[in-house]
């Protein structure tokens, strides 16, 4: 491998996995790709968040509250039916997203030997991640790389580094947005308004920047393997390449890219709190054979001690702490290469 290349050495490092899994690759392709309709893109429910503000119709308070209530109901319906929706007038300026994207590209295009160093940009040793070291077959492999940055680690970046400013500003804006959306969705469930303020402290949340390199084995491996998110909700901004897919009605659907929106998806914890009303939907990224893809995400998580409990009865899931949930996921991944998730916590 050229020591100056920025591409991770996927095939070199995982040579045995690629060489010894010919039969599995064919089987995985038949089982996991046969449902994809490559000619059809779905457009997620579109929510205008301007109605969460009171900037218009200031002389008509009743209409204001009706619009606010309608906005919350639309989000709740999308969270129940799709588990995904897209938002406009979300409060994160385009220049903030563009700046973040520019810095993201600069970080990923550093030589692989440099970004895989323990002290790269003074980040934690496990911030840079690529491939999947626990994969036991190609179905579990992800042809992608990421920077996983807890909010508390942003301050570790050099004060003069433009990436610190860009990541910090994006995180600040996304944190406000995530909390607003979570509180609205909780309000629809009758959950007390202080729940997220009490349980989702800034230090428990994180930003993840993703890059999906061109993949010569795109018909055999994923850019990101199918999964659900282990949080309350995720705020995602993706580029125009496409590749994000979600599972609905037993089929994989391509999510149409739109530079004017952010994508919001429900995580496992909100499904548990909502007693199964809101859906944490399986999603994945299909690898592209020729073009690299970038995305950035904000994950809204509770502290490890936070207790996750269904809001209504009879409860579908037993009560558990976020620490317990994460530990169970880690045990399952080590044992099988796969996340099992919420089904571990079903009462019946």
DSSP lists the bridge partners of residue 42 as: 255
Distance CA 219, CA 29 (A): 7
> Does residue 293 carry a catalytic annotation?
yes
In degrees and rounded to multiples of 5, residue 5 shows phi and psi of -70, 150
Q: Are strands 262-266 and 233-238 parallel, antiparallel or unpaired?
A: antiparallel
Q: How far is CA 253 from CA 41, 45, 245, 247, 303, in A?
A: 6, 14, 5, 6, 33
DSSP letter assigned to residue 66: H
Which residue out of 51, 101, 164, 293 is catalytically annotated?
Answer: 293
Distance CA 205, CA 301 (A): 5
Q: Which of 348, 177, 195, 332 is nearest to 270 (CA)?
A: 195
| Catalytic positions, written as ranges | 293
């Amino acid at each position: 491998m050229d020591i100056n290349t920025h591409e991770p050495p996927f095939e070199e490092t995982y040579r045995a996995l690629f060489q010894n899994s010919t039969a599995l690759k064919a089987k995985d392709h038949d089982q996991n790709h046969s449902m994809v309709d490559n000619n059809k893109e779905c457009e997620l429910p579109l929510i205008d968040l301007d109605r969460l503000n009171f900037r218009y119709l200031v002389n008509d308070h009743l209409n204001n509250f009706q619009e606010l209530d309608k906005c919350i109901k639309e989000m709740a319906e999308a969270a129940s039916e799709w588990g995904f929706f897209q938002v406009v007038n979300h409060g994160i300026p385009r220049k903030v997203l563009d700046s973040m994207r520019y810095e993201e590209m600069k970080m990923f295009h550093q030589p692989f030997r440099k970004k895989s160093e323990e002290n790269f940009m003074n980040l934690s040793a496990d911030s840079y991640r690529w491939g999947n070291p626990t994969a036991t077959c190609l179905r579990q492999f992800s042809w992608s790389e990421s920077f996983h940055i807890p909010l508390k680690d942003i301050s570790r970046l050099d004060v003069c580094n433009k990436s610190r400013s860009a990541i910090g500003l994006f995180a600040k804006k996304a944190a406000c947005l995530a909390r607003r959306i979570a509180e609205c969705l909780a309000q629809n469930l009758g959950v007390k308004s202080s729940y997220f303020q009490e349980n989702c402290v800034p230090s428990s949340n994180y930003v993840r920047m993703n890059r999906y390199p061109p993949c010569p084995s795109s018909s055999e491996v994923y850019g990101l393997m199918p999964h659900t998110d282990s949080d309350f909700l995720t705020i995602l901004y993706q580029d125009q390449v496409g590749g994000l897919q979600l599972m609905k009605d037993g089929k994989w659907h391509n999510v149409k890219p739109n530079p004017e929106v952010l994508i919001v998806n429900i995580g496992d914890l909100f499904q548990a709190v909502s007693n199964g009303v809101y859906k944490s939907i399986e999603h994945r990224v299909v690898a592209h054979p020729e073009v690299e893809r970038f995305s950035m995400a904000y994950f809204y998580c509770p502290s490890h001690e936070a207790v996750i409990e269904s809001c209504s009865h009879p409860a579908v899931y037993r009560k558990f702490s976020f620490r317990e949930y994460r530990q169970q996921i880690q045990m399952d991944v080590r044992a099988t290469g796969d996340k099992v998730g919420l089904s571990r916590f079903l009462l019946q």
